[in-house]
Structure 1
């Protein structure tokens, strides 16, 4: 996916809807490295993601993806603190509608499933050295609060 504004004239069958959940704990962002068992962006760091089934509630589905990919759920689970909808264009012409969420977590203990082979929690300023997916910066900017002293 590449950052792109609203597209006009995109055929409905080329629009794919996904959820993207950014997790934070103690001012650090949780990033997850895509395993060799997933298609696309193997070895790159990203937030929790998943395809949104037709008719599914995006917020509820983001919680499902978080539970599946991190084991975080229930009473100690993540608390929603921000949301946005992004329109991004993939290099293959596919239009992605990304339902992005920010969740604050009570802890940073995760139990990874097969989709990831590593997890790290980093301060926003420390993300520059990681090989991330191309669209991560747009998602982070959309759902995370601006640093003190910076406008929207």
Structure 2
């Protein structure tokens, strides 16, 4: 997976210490189907995800990632969910955690293909017949598919316990 230049520059300063990054998940819908990509690094199916570049608008970042990774042109419809991912430790020891903004997107044009090498396959799946997905990804897709007018905000169990 291509690491953005700004992260490489930060890594020169902080090594593999934890980095707090802003990310996006784009749940692209076409009727009753969702666009999923099979990641090259771990073989898991997922909605399109990516890192927001410095100064980039989050919805623009998500649209850019969809086009770069799948060849699909899609437009944002709404912010569906805001959450913090679990910490991630990459094979090289780099540690990150993401503030993830989940957007619902509508397909406009294009045929899915693994466009940039980050994925080995890209396809449309019926919402009622998805491949195996992580619980976190299922939660993101459910938030995007719902017709809730406002975004979902996840609250940690620790905070709930103190209420």
Could you tell me the TM-score, scaled by structure 2's length? 0.66
Alignment partner for residue 37 of structure 2, among 27, 32, 37?
Answer: 32
The answer (yes or no) to whether the contact 1:28–1:124 under 8 Å persists in 2 is: yes
Alignment correspondent of 1:111: 113
Gaps of 5+ in 1: 1-12
State yes or no: 1:45 paired with 2:45: yes
Q: CA deviation at 1:123?
A: 1.8
Give the aligned CA root-mean-square deviation in angstroms: 2.5
Unpaired runs of 5+ residues, structure 2, are: 1-17, 90-94, 153-163
Q: Which one has the largest radius of gyration?
A: 2
Q: Provide TM-score, normalisation by structure 1.
A: 0.70
Q: Tell me how far apart the structure 2 counterparts of residues 100 and 15 of structure 1 sit (CA, whole Å).
A: 17
Name the CA distance, whole Å, in 2 between partners of 1:61 and 1:94: 19
Matching of residues 2-151 of structure 1 within 5 Å = 14-35=19-40, 38=41, 42-72=42-72, 77-83=73-79, 84-90=81-87, 94-107=96-109, 109-113=111-115, 114-127=117-130, 130-145=131-146
Q: 1:88 and 1:47 mapped to 2: Cα distance?
A: 15
Off by >4 Å, runs of 4+ in structure 1: 91-94
Shift of 1:17: 1.3
1:142 deviates by 2.3
SS of aligned partner of 1:120: strand
What are the Cα deviations for residues 82-112 of structure 1, in whole angstroms up to 9, with x where unaligned? 2132222226584321011111113561232
- Tell me which of the two structures has the higher relative contact order, counting C-alpha pairs closer than 8 angstroms and 6 or more residues apart: 1
